[in-house]
Structure 1
Amino acid sequence: MDATPSRFPTRRLMIAGALAAWPAHGLAQQRRVVTILGDSITAGYGLPASAALPAQVQAQLRKLGADAVVRGAGVSGDTTAGGLARVDFSVQRDTDVCLVALGGNDLLQGIDPKRTQANLDRIVARLKTRKIGVVLAGLAPPPVIGRAYAREFQAVFPAVAKAQGITLYPNLLAGVAQTPRLNQQDGFHPNAQGVAVIAQGLAPILAKALATRG
């Protein structure tokens, strides 16, 4: 009789553990997850969450038939070095595809493009090691940036994409940069309309990336 009661707690724990694990496993099987690793644009600077890039990309993906959860992993002011330092915990393990959208603050700070390239290479390599699909968003420097530096900086993104064998979205701010009606008063951060333009451009690329992962 002493042995019988001692088996019950163990059995209850086993059953409880199985029940707790089942819903999480079911959800993981059903949903797809896109994480956007970025800076203030990803973080939705100056915008409500509903108008920020993650929410708008998610809405555009659903219009394309890709029912995915889009998570924002943006930190305002972050450089590629900052993204590298936090990529392992900012991009959760259930992520199917990660959009890496970093580099704008490197550009503003005049960081050596070689350092930016090395950081992006390492970010992408870490994500690939974790079996996470990667799309890299590039940037086109504004006209006020010196030509030599701008040329060297812009070349970073296609170089990383080629070396790592990943998809490149050439310019995150295509159709938005230098267009006052699509930007906030600071001239750097897109407003809700500008974010909508960005999301419309990104969604087909991300939908394709999700589709290739089965």
Structure 2
Amino acid sequence: MRKVWVIIGFLISVSAAWAEPVRITAFGDSLVQGYGLPQGDGFVPQLEHWLQEHGAEVEITNAGVSGDTSAGGAARIDWTLADDPDALIVLLGGNDLLRGLSAEEMRANLSKILSAAEQADTEVLLVGMRAPNNYGPDYRAAFNAVYPDLAKEFGALLHPDAFAGIFERVGGDPAKAQEFMQDDDIHPNAEGVRENIEALGPVALQLVARVSG
């Protein structure tokens, strides 16, 4: 009987070793691509490292395109999903915001992306952006509502703000946030990415659990 348990234990350990990691595609703009950062300091390598440190077996593919809008993402989502990832992290909208593009157009583009993922049976984590006060109350309300509305409609996980980690760290003080930003005041530096990943990480673990469970 003891030999049987030894064999079972060996088979379990071998199965664990052979288990394939969860394949996640990070789909977005320069925030995903890692603009202005050394190769190991961007969003994708830092998130992959964070998840692995917290016990998740994952491989994350970088599908970030600097300058991409939600329309650009919608145009390339089918090609991205052709690689058949287990899960998708969608981080788009920052360039729509910078250009003052229509929140309704962004909603339609993101809806196309989430619909394509749903048809491909791919779990999604939608990462939101927050419009600042200087965009006016109407635009701000319309823009900020897009992400929670779509997450609810498609049953996607939601992380409401890509910059949540930085603003939590500085207590919402924009002046203090500069310490965590690159000189362009748009992209986080390596430490800023680290703070944002700390905030995003627990929701990303939920994404892994959805795929694994």
TM class, shorter-chain normalised? 0.7 to 0.9
The aligned counterpart of 1:121 is: 111
- CA RMSD between the two structures: 1.6
The aligned counterpart of 1:206 is: 204
1:83 aligns with 2:73: yes
Kindly indicate whether the alpha-carbon contact (under 8 Å) linking 1:53 and 1:199 is maintained by their aligned counterparts in 2: yes
The aligned counterpart of 2:195 is: 197
Return the index of the structure with the highest Cα Rg: 1
1:188 is paired with a residue whose SS is coil
Q: 1:176, CA displacement in angstroms?
A: 2.4
Q: 1:143, CA displacement in angstroms?
A: 2.8
Structure 2 counterpart of 1:210, which letter?
V
Q: Which runs of 5+ in 2 are unaligned?
A: 1-16, 168-173
1:34-183 matches, within 5 Å, as 34-176=24-166, 178=174, 179-183=177-181
In 2, Cα distance between the equivalents of 1:189 and 1:40?
A: 8
Percent identical: 37
Change (3 A) 1:182 1:92: farther
Task: After the TM superposition, list the runs of 4 or more consecutive aligned residues in structure 1 that deviate by more than 4 angstroms.
Answer: none
Q: 1:146, CA displacement in angstroms?
A: 1.6
Choose 188-197 or 135-144, whichever is displaced more: 135-144
In 2, Cα distance between the equivalents of 1:205 and 1:70?
A: 15
Kindly indicate whether the alpha-carbon contact (under 8 Å) linking 2:90 and 2:125 is maintained by their aligned counterparts in 1: yes
Structure 2 counterpart of 1:143, which letter?
N
1:56 is paired with a residue whose SS is helix
1:112-149, Cα deviation, whole Å (9 max, x unpaired) = 11110011111001011111100101111123222211
1:4-15 matches, within 5 Å, as none
Q: 1:94, CA displacement in angstroms?
A: 3.5
1:193 is paired with a residue whose SS is helix
Structure 1 counterpart of 2:145, which letter?
A
Q: 1:90, CA displacement in angstroms?
A: 2.6
TM-score (norm 1): 0.83
In 1, Cα distance between the equivalents of 2:18 and 2:96?
A: 35
TM-score (norm 2): 0.84
